[in-house]
Amino acid sequence: MTNPFPNNIAIAGAGLLGRLLAWQLLQSGCNVTLFEAGSFTPSAPQTDRAAAFTAAGMIAPLSEAVVSDEGVYRMGQFALARWPQWLSTLSVGVDTLFSQHGSLVIAHAQDLSELEQFERELRFVIPQCKTYQRVNQHQIQELEPDLNPHFVQGLFLAEEGHINNRELLAIIGEEIILRGVQLREFTSVEVNANKIISSATEEQFDLVIDCRGFGAKKQHPELRGVRGETLHVETKEIRLQRPVRLMHPRYQLYIVPKPNHRFIIGATQIESEDRSPMTLQSSLELSSALYTLSPAFAEARIIEMDTNLRPAYMDNLPHVDIQDGLITANGLFRHGYLLAPAIVENILAHIFEKEEKVFSELLNR
Amino acid sequence: MSYIPTLPAKDFTLYGETFSSRFLLGTALYASPQLMRDSIIQSRAEIVTLGLRRQNPADRSGDAIWQFIQESGCRLLPNTAGCKSVKEAVTLAEMSREIFNTDWIKLEVVGDDYNLQPDPFGLVEASDILIKKGFKVLPYCTDDLILCRRLVEVGCQVLMPWGAPIGTGQGLLNRYNLLTLRERIKDVPMIIDAGLGAPSQATEAMEMGFDGILLNTAVAKAHNPPLMAEAFADAIDAGRKAYKAGLMQKRQTASPSTPTIGQPFWHQK
């Protein structure tokens, strides 16, 4: 009896979606060939690595719902449940990969109307939301003792979490190599149904999955890149338990604690496909926001300034297109780690013809 | 006099071009470009503004979004938002003329970084330079009469005084100054630019005789931006009709001047 499901599968793009899909498909016993235009190693110096390496890795369904919609919230809640399940199946168990201690949204006393606006939008998008509460100066200090004590009002979003994304990408990378993925780095490809064309060869597959992010722009001109810049700093003088979001009339930035006393602050959002280094203006905005969170950041060392392009469609919502021999998933915009579990499970449900195609109404439009 | 329905009249003239919509919409701050374009459609606007300061215009890195805005079919009004000096604003204006093939520019020279208040001195200087270079300048200015006169003297044929600082939604903060402007500078089209938060405020400005409304945040930050765009469009139409129809004079009837007939005398004091 022949296997009714595709067995020989090609994935284009070794960013977050590509790695997760390769991992899940290998676990299901498929043969997977993974094509990557750049280097497979996240730390390798290269100009166009996937947006997933630049992201801060927040799993923040409520905060992101405020800038998108209720569908993103539901997929985000799915992610909060799915990430720990997935990570528990890794052969190298790392318990620091995912943490869920909520997130804190604060504003300076002069900008409290920004906080009000945030809460209004939150209540509008998720009217029944019970997982957040207003916090006062005292409660903010209890949650994050190292924050500047002048923050008098905030919101605590209890269910939000974050992922140590670079570590995760590296670990899943090792995992899929261990499970026998066929890896083709430094290979730009053209993607077709059942067929991958590179400068060297043309190969046939039972199924091709295109998750190249902004790298697919040439083949999908309707995609656009949205520039984001992040600052990585290191200091032992301050500890944060959870991501903190600072509301400001000009910009809304978050700071996410990472292992080894590091912090990522980001990200700018500029309608531009320019991935050249960070501008001085952006570095001023990011670093002054950081400084006002706590003056102790003044002596933090700047480890890295990163720039990347978020792949987005004009509605800023993700799309998964299912065709014979070709699945295209793209447009995760600023919600990569939040949306990836829903998208991966949706694709797996299509491949293995499961009855319930999760989030089909949101993704397969 | 008989009533002849004439609206929407194509009687809004800016630099020799006529428009039927008196609503100019900004294209920043929307949750997605799609929502922005839906809002433009619902606003019935014929002119949209767009900023390019942070998009590395020299490399045309904003092409994807600019093209999408251009597809709306509206006249593009590039702005110099974010420019803090005359030189920056002039350079950006020249760049946007090249990219968008238009000599119209919404001139902003930012005087204060926090509330984005216009720098009146830089504004006059930059207007002068740009008009001499052949630009059609629409300056974002404060409601100061003397500033507005200076802008007209250097050749601005449109004025865009603020209602309140950008993004505040405060409405018409200084009605006295705005009325003074309207009374004293009658022959230059004036568009209230920035600071409006509610459609009723736009109606109020139009009732006062202002010629148009330019805004962005109030629509972009609404829960339902396209619906809010339509609400503003209707409000602007209502205010314009009211202005043309002529508002009645408010009356004071708190203390009667004559005995009120038909009321029992023991109720009369």
ipTM of this complex prediction, to 2 decimal places = 0.85
Give the nearest partner residue to B62 out of A117, A271, A316, using CB atoms. A271
The tokens for B223 are 């829960």
User: Given CB atoms, is A270 within the 8 Å cutoff of chain B?
Assistant: yes
Query: Minimal Cα–Cα distance from A104 to chain B, Å?
Result: 22
Rounded Cα distance between B51 and A116, Å, is 27
Given a cut of 80, whether residue A3 has pLDDT beyond it is no
Give the nearest partner residue to B65 out of A117, A121, A224, using CB atoms. A224
Does A274 sit within 8 Å of B55, measured CB to CB?
yes
Encode pLDDT of A279-305 as tens digits. Answer: 999 999 999 999 999 999 999 999 999
A232 close to A262: Cβ distance less than 8 angstroms: yes
Which residues of chain B, if any, have pLDDT below 70? 1-9, 259, 263-269
Give the nearest partner residue to B64 out of A124, A224, A281, using CB atoms. A224
User: Given CB atoms, is B254 within the 8 Å cutoff of chain A?
Assistant: no
The upper half-sphere exposure of residue B162, i.e. CA atoms within 13 Å in the direction of its Cβ, equals 24
What single-letter DSSP state applies at residue A12?
E
A100 close to A240: Cβ distance less than 8 angstroms: no
Q: Which of A118, A274, A333 to mutate to test the interface with B (most CBs of B within 10 A)?
A: A274
Residues 6+ apart with CB under 8 A from A32: A9, A10, A11, A22, A25, A26, A176, A181, A182
Does B31 sit within 8 Å of A281, measured CB to CB?
no
B106 counts as catalytic:
yes
Q: Which one is catalytic: B10, B84, B87, B106?
A: B106
User: Given CB atoms, is A357 within the 8 Å cutoff of chain B?
Assistant: no
pLDDT given for residue A1 in this prediction = 45
Give the nearest partner residue to B32 out of A227, A273, A315, using CB atoms. A315
User: Given CB atoms, is B67 within the 8 Å cutoff of chain A?
Assistant: no
What percentage of chain A reaches a pLDDT higher than 70?
A: 98
User: Given CB atoms, is B184 within the 8 Å cutoff of chain A?
Assistant: no
Does B55 sit within 8 Å of A270, measured CB to CB?
yes
Rounded Cα distance between A332 and A343, Å, is 9
Rounded Cα distance between B212 and B159, Å, is 10
Given a cut of 60, whether residue A337 has pLDDT beyond it is yes
Residue with tokens 């409290």: A112
Does B64 sit within 8 Å of A315, measured CB to CB?
no
Q: Collect all residues of chain A within an 8 Å Cβ-Cβ radius of residue B114.
A: 249
Given a cut of 80, whether residue A58 has pLDDT beyond it is yes
Does A317 sit within 8 Å of B61, measured CB to CB?
no
pLDDT given for residue A139 in this prediction = 96
Q: What is the mean pLDDT of chain A?
A: 92
Neighbours of A187 (CB within 10 A): 17
Does B54 sit within 8 Å of A317, measured CB to CB?
no
pLDDT given for residue B3 in this prediction = 60
User: Given CB atoms, is B61 within the 8 Å cutoff of chain A?
Assistant: yes
Give the nearest partner residue to A316 out of B31, B64, B223, using CB atoms. B31
Given a cut of 90, whether residue A252 has pLDDT beyond it is no
Residue with tokens 């299912």: A322
pLDDT given for residue B267 in this prediction = 64
Q: Which of B41, B59, B61 to mutate to test the interface with A (most CBs of A within 10 A)?
A: B61
User: Given CB atoms, is B70 within the 8 Å cutoff of chain A?
Assistant: no
Rounded Cα distance between A361 and A44, Å, is 38
Identity of residue A134: R
Q: Collect all residues of chain B within an 8 Å Cβ-Cβ radius of residue A67.
A: 31
Question: Of A2, A6, A8, nearest to A203 (Cα)?
Answer: A8
What pTM was computed for the model?
A: 0.87
Encode pLDDT of A193-240 as tens digits. Answer: 999 999 888 999 999 999 999 999 999 999 999 999 999 999 999 999
pLDDT given for residue A132 in this prediction = 93
Given a cut of 90, whether residue A245 has pLDDT beyond it is yes
Query: Minimal Cα–Cα distance from A213 to chain B, Å?
Result: 16
Q: Collect all residues of chain A within an 8 Å Cβ-Cβ radius of residue B55.
A: 270-272, 274
Tell me the torsion sign for CA atoms A195, A196, A202, A207: negative
User: Given CB atoms, is B102 within the 8 Å cutoff of chain A?
Assistant: no
Given a cut of 80, whether residue A19 has pLDDT beyond it is yes
pLDDT given for residue B249 in this prediction = 85
Give the nearest partner residue to A274 out of B34, B61, B167, using CB atoms. B61
B87 close to B130: Cβ distance less than 8 angstroms: no
User: Given CB atoms, is B99 within the 8 Å cutoff of chain A?
Assistant: no
The tokens for B200 are 């009723």
